[in-house]
Amino acid sequence: MENMSKSFILWLGLIIANIASAQNSGENKSGTTEMKQYFFVMLTTGPNRSQDSVTATRIQEGHMKNIRHLADLGKLVIAGPFGDDSAWKGFFIFDCKSTEEIDGYLKSDPAITSGRLLYQVHPWWTAKNCLFK
């Protein structure tokens, strides 16, 4: 798990460096970069993954519907699964005002309410208007 954590941090660092290199639009008139807070949500394996295949499929369909809904609202900026079979299942980046707001949105997700996924919310900063609006 430690190697996976280091790999993820390296991967995230590369993304941030790539964003930072294209941030001219995030500079204000004084030439300094304006920062904006987003929220990074790590989705991990939940304690209840014993559903039959029909129920698991229904939960996943609801999970994807919720993702589309949050994206349509402009709250969910990025979402995606990891491509391996680790305890890390995926992540979200939200454009919201607080962790409480995010908690409300996540508690409407069938994958979370069923116990298939757990989540952790972390404030995350990047330059305003970088790749996100």
CATH of 2-127, one of 3.90.650.10, 3.30.70.1060, 3.30.70.120, 3.65.10.10: 3.30.70.1060
- In angstroms, the CA 133 to CA 125 distance is 13
Q: Does the pLDDT of residue 117 top 50, yes or no?
A: yes
pLDDT in tens, 10-51: 555 555 555 555 444 455 556 678 899 999 999 999 999 999
Structure confidence at residue 53 as a pLDDT band (50, 70, 90): very high
pLDDT in tens, 69-94: 999 999 999 999 999 999 999 999 99
Q: Shortest CA distance to 84 belongs to which of 6, 8, 2?
A: 8
Parse the chain into domains and list their residue ranges.
2-127
Q: Shortest CA distance to 62 belongs to which of 100, 124, 112, 2?
A: 112
- In angstroms, the CA 47 to CA 9 distance is 25
Average pLDDT over residues 107-119: 96
End-to-end Cα spacing for the chain: 33
